[in-house]
Structure 1
Amino acid sequence: MINRQSIIAKYSPPIWLRFLIIILLILGIFFRFAYLDRKVYWHDEAYTSLRISGYTKTEFVQKVFNGRVFAVGDIQKYQQPNSEKGLINTINSLAVEDAQHPPLYYVMLRLWMQFFGNSVAITRSLSAIISLIAFPCIYWLCLELFQSPITAWIGVALLTVSPFHVLYAQEAREFGLWMVTTLLESAVLLRAIRLGSKKLWGIYAVTVALGLYTFLFSGLLAIAYGIYVFAIERFRFTKTIKAYLIATSVGFLAFVPWILTIINGLSEIQRTTTSTQTRQSVSVLVSGWISNISYLFADFWRYEPFFRDLNLPVLRWGRFLIPLLLILVIYSFLFLYGQVGKRVWLFVFILSGVPALAFILPDLIIGGKVSLRARYVIPCYVGIQLAVPYLLASQIITSKLITRKFWQVVMVVVISSGVLSCAVSSQAETWWNKSSHANPQIARIINKANNPLLISSNYSLNIGDLMSLVHLLDQKVQMQLVIEPSLPNIPNSFSEVFLYNPSKEFRYQLERKYKLVDVFQYSRLWRLEQKGT
């Protein structure tokens, strides 16, 4: 075991691998910035923009869902920074209605948009830029953990073309930043443990605070790291444990203001997260977990719902990679356990295991589907993206020719699958990580009308979906929005009147006066016509 670790630590990447990594870095950067505005600016991103505007959802509904006719441009001010609301209002909007999302990313994005503009591409570009910081962070983390440059470079290579990370690098959400803070916090912790410097422990305290202010589930990292530190110190109160406890406490103390905000907003958090509490069958949960793991490396077979006219069976066959990728991940953990010291494999196991179990066990015991949301278990995926590069690095430099060639083929297949996935998804208007899938097609139908009016209500998820739709509608479109059970007083001055995602009762009331023509599948969009026409 020691000899293998010593060999891989001294081994430098061969020229062909260095050349491959350079190409992958270029591709990874390209995929993160290309077509930033192509995919639908979906429901959750629209809520990001609402928070950036400084308005709360309640204020937005009061000002817009009042039965008056608004131009699209009038509604867009609630999707961008404006002179009426400042940075404090952005923080307050989160504190009042969305306290489970700490403010760091939203503050950064607000300032970014004030300087550079509020187009979809510019809004998402901050996440894309932040995602680039993950490259040196995973390199550093691999070096701290394995002392192996070749493992570090392969880790970078896999991350650059990971479809999962590329997708979230192109979203106006905080999850790309959370990936960076997770990698940085992990690397700083390992270095602080190794060198014992007070300065490093101080930096670690800062990374704890940054992680918590980025995403609430960073608290699980503190638990995982605590278990790790106590385990490697054999549960003795050593200087390392003391330093860890002090640094972690300082990080949490810095987060106390938002902890108080969370406590004050518990009822609102409970209300807004009820959709995650729907019980799922074990088979659905297991299938979802496996699929999410596979998306770290490939997802090109998911193209069919998003390219309806494209018939490429060869892409559909890619789903057969799912069990193979699962085997690769499982084997990488087993290999790691058998080949490296306890300090190394224990870190990877705990980093992956604690966040995963924190969501899996409640979903199995109490009921829910939080564990199916891949973005919530990013620390778990960091562990996977440490184990797999170590396996590949170890095997492609082995002295056994057949073994070496086999694992070189495996690495090429995994990397090629990632590149293909990124290439396919980059051309799509939407992908598996987004809802609001129908909005681009709905917007095209409405935009074709000469003088259209769009009617809708606050039914179901309409508020977020309508904010998403606003980014796709032409300026000529007018909107009339109401709070159910109120009905709109529809003017007669429009060439076409459309109804967006009505409730059954809302539709029934309108059918008393109008004929409703279904113009889009799944009853998402209707056209209102006078009876008798």
Structure 2
Amino acid sequence: EKNASHKKYNSSKIKLLIQTLPGKFFITALAIIILYIPWILVIINNLQRAYDATNWARVSVGFNVLVKKWILSFSSLFIDLDFGFDSIATYLLRLPFLIIIGFGVYTVCRYCSRSTKLFVLTSIFVPFIILVIPDLFWSGKRSAVTRYLTSCFPAIYLSVAYLFSRYLGGNNVSHQLGDRLSLFSRQKFWRVVLAILLTASILSCSISAVSDTWWNKTPSYFNAEVAKKINASDYPLLLSDIGDDYTNIGDVISLSYLLDDNVQLLLLIQLANLEMVTSESEIFVFRPSRKLLEAMKAKQWELKSVVAGELWRVDISN
């Protein structure tokens, strides 16, 4: 009788959830759409520009590059020591932290309520899958950009926090894992793991904070190197336009903080402004658009690469 009444209670709860969920969902969805209407209108009115501005994210990369970026992005929540993108040490060092993340998600799925499980799993995997599917089927590197995965990260932090709270406290936790450890008790083991996690996080933050650039700085990874090359000149003039992907304005603003006071900037809106350029300064051009390149070639200006794909030195003596 108890089992029958329990099943009846559960079925009534499920029916109530089914009845109330659609209404709540559609009300929430409608509220979100209303809030985002101004941004939706901006995108519709500037659809081609929005498409051009995100062209760089549709550049095809190999599957191995995507996998490496996924490993770097998710493990960087707790450790972010970089020994080189193609160095095996970079990924071996991060493997234990990926295992901790996976075990945290598993612990949530095993011990938490159904609603909590769904919240964590959908928060992590739905945004990730939305980015991964177009990358795999239509090429691109959207899922390789760490900032696009930001919505996945809070649920990962919650999962790992729950993992430690469960194994560091409470006497109702299964001791099966602790029984297998010959050197440490269960709680001592997880204290050591937590100490390693915190140490790795603090060390990673300390190193990246004083670095000129980092692996996740897309597409401005080379800005520090570009600034050093320009600052080494006595009378530099930096030319740039909006660029083919419309990202140059933001990058030039970022770059300006690294440039010396004697560096002059000429940001071109119209190509006719090239007439203002004289040979008195050492001229550099930063990620020029195809139109700007064609205009400089038409003037028979000679371009020499300084930082591959980013910066050129211009000789207008011809």
Q: TM-score over 0.5 for the alignment?
A: yes
Three-state SS of the structure 1 residue aligned to 2:18 is coil
Displacement, 1:436? Answer: 2.7
**One-letter amino acid of the structure 2 residue matched with residue 419 of structure 1:** I
Q: State the partner residue of 1:470.
A: 256
- The partner residue of 2:216 within 426, 430, 433 is 433
Amino acid at match of 1:438: F
Please point out which of 323, 326, 330 is paired with 2:95. Answer: 323
Q: For residues 440 and 389 of structure 1, do their structure 2 counterparts lie closer, same or farther at Cα, with a shift above 3 Å needed?
A: same
Structure 2 residue aligned with 1:291, among 46, 50, 72?
72
CA distance in structure 2 between the partners assigned to 1:507 and 1:414 by the alignment: 53
Post-superposition offset of 1:425? 0.5
Change (3 A) 1:234 1:324: farther
Pairwise CA distance, 1:505: 5.0
Q: Alpha carbons of 1:273 and 1:246: their partners in 2 closer, same or farther (altered >3 Å)? A: same
- Alignment of 1:256 with 2:37, yes or no, is yes
Query: Which residues in structure 2 correspond to 1:79-478 (within 5 Å)?
Result: 236-238=18-20, 242-243=23-24, 245-301=26-82, 317=89, 319-397=91-169, 400=178, 402-434=185-217, 435-460=219-244, 462-478=248-264
Give, as a single letter, the amino acid of the residue that structure 2 aligns with 1:372. Answer: A
C-alpha spacing 1:495/1:386, structure 2 compared with 1 (3 Å): closer
1:528 aligns with 2:315: yes
Given that residues 237 and 282 in structure 2 are in contact (C-alpha distance below 8 angstroms), is that contact kept between their aligned partners in structure 1?
A: yes
Tell me the matched-pair count: 286
Structure 2 unaligned spans of 5+: 1-12, 172-177, 179-183
**Alpha-carbon distance in structure 2 between the residues aligned to 1:500 and 1:369:** 23
Tell me the alpha carbon deviations over residues 453-493 of structure 1, each in whole angstroms, 9 at most, x when there is no partner: 3344555454443333333334433334546976834324x
Write the letter of the residue equivalent to 2:70.
Answer: W
Structure-2 separation of matches of 1:359 and 1:276: 11
- The answer to whether the 8 Å contact 2:168/2:187 transfers is yes
Letter in structure 1 aligned against 2:30: S
Is the partner of 1:255 in helix, strand or coil? helix
Q: Distance in 2 between matches of 1:402 and 1:330?
A: 22
Q: 1:428 Cα deviation (Å)? A: 1.1
**What's the CA shift string for 1:222-249, capped at 9, x where partnerless?**
xxxxxxxxx97675213x6544543443
Shift of 1:403: 2.0
Helix, strand or coil for the counterpart of 1:454? strand
Q: Secondary structure at the match of 1:453?
A: strand
Q: Secondary structure at the match of 1:262?
A: helix
Shift of 1:448: 4.8
**Larger RCO: 1 or 2 (CA < 8 Å, sep 6+):** 1
Quickly say closer, same or farther: Cα 1:232–1:421, change in 2 above 3 A. Answer: farther
Which deviations, in whole Å up to 9, do the C-alpha atoms of 1:349-395 show, x marking residues without a partner?
12222222222223223333222222223232222111111111111
* Partners of 2:241 and 2:37 in 1: CA distance: 38
Q: 1:392 to 1:451 in 2, by over 3 A?
A: same
Deviation at 1:408, TM superposition (A): 1.5
* 3-state SS in 2 of match to 1:479: strand
State the Cα distance separating 1:419 from its structure 2 match.
0.5
Output one character per residue of 1:47-96: Cα deviation in whole Å (capped at 9) or x when no partner: xxxxxxxxxxxxxxxxxxxxxxxxxxxxxxxxxxxxxxxxxxxxxxxxxx
CA drift at 1:452:
3.2
Give the drift of 1:326. 1.9
TM-score, normalization by structure 2 = 0.73
Q: Distance in 1 between matches of 2:225 and 2:72?
A: 27
Structure with max Cα Rg: 2
Point out the structure with the larger helix share. 1
Aligned CA distance change for structure 1 residues 430 and 491 (closer, same or farther; 3 Å): same
Measured in 1, the distance between the counterparts of 2:41 and 2:301 equals 51
Displacement of 1:290 in angstroms is: 2.1
TM-score under structure 1 normalisation?
0.46
Contact 2:71 2:91 in 1 (8 A): no
Whichever residue aligns with residue 315 of structure 2, its letter is L
Q: CA deviation at 1:325?
A: 1.9
User: Is the contact made by 1:363 and 1:369 (CA closer than 8 Å) also made in structure 2?
Assistant: yes
Quick one: structure 1 residues 506 and 353, their matched pair in 2 at CA, closer, same or farther if it must change by over 3 Å? Answer: same
1:436 corresponds to which letter in structure 2? Answer: S
CA-to-partner distance for each residue in 1:214-273, whole Å, 9 max, x for gaps? xxxxxxxxxxxxxxxxx97675213x6544543443343343343334333334323322
Distance 2:316 2:52 in 1: 38
Q: Percent identity?
A: 30
The 3 A distance-change label for structure 1 pair 530 and 292 is same
Kept in 2, the 8 Å contact 1:301–1:319? The answer is: no
